Amino acid sequence: MSVTGTFDGKTVLITGASRGIGASAAELFARAGANVVMAARSDDALQEVRARIDGAAGRAVIQLCDVSKYDDLAAAVGTCVDRFGGLDILINNAGVIAPISRMAEADPEGWGQAIDINLKGVFYGMRAALPVMLKAGGGTVLTISSGAAHNPIEAWSHYCSSKAGAAMLTRMLDAEYGPEGIRAIGLSPGTVATEMQREIKASAINPVSRLEWTDHIPPDWPARTLMWMCGAGADDWLGQEISLRDPEIRQKVGLA
């Protein structure tokens, strides 16, 4: 898929950009000419991603950010405005699967931290981005969802609950601000070959943990889909969720 110049002049904020889907998205958007603000907690990992981006058409900026803290996301949005004059696309990608455990054995603090990242982090991103996007007349907010948002999976009460909440936030954003130019869409990528899948595999506790590595799609597939979702071709899904398990979607995106 040729993407050079597709996003010239656009500014994209990606949370969880230090690895997996977020890192792949940062590279692809930069190659397409976007200004990319990469937000995550690990400076070393972000530096590695930026090194791979060097020489791309766009520009990449590192932003240390803990999405469980609203002030961190507000600062990331501020960096978008200060460095590039605005924010066109927000990708709520940061998420955690730990601690994997059944409810009777779950660590309450760890369970709550997962909610802080997977659910509150999505709201914080939306809340920080909205004033800037509304002032500019619109923007796109894409949030990584999951099949776990709609189906219970053993030992994932924290993940299923937080992803279900995040899916509702996408619907709420569309209901409240769709008429004002805010494009809100969720992406359910299926299982992706990232570090999270290694954590799931090690837990050996549910059917997902028994999948083979070859069963997972590469992280550039959801990244490429996120790029497609920024265009008018995805407008039929505004306020809804796109599933990469859908062969029709894969065909639209141009995935093998």
Residues catalogued as catalytic: 159
Question: What separation in angstroms does the CA of 224 have from each of 28, 78, 82, 159, 196?
Answer: 7, 26, 27, 24, 19
Indicate the residue type of 47: Q
Q: How far apart are CA 17 and CA 174, in angstroms?
A: 24
How many angstroms separate the CA atoms of 166 and 77, rounded? 20
Burial of residue 69 (CB within 10 Å: 0-12, 13-18, 19+) is middle
| C-beta separation of 51 from 26 below 8 A | no
Using the Cα atoms of residue 127, residue 69, residue 162 and residue 94 in order, give the sign of their dihedral: positive
Which residue bears the tokens 């930026």? Answer: 50
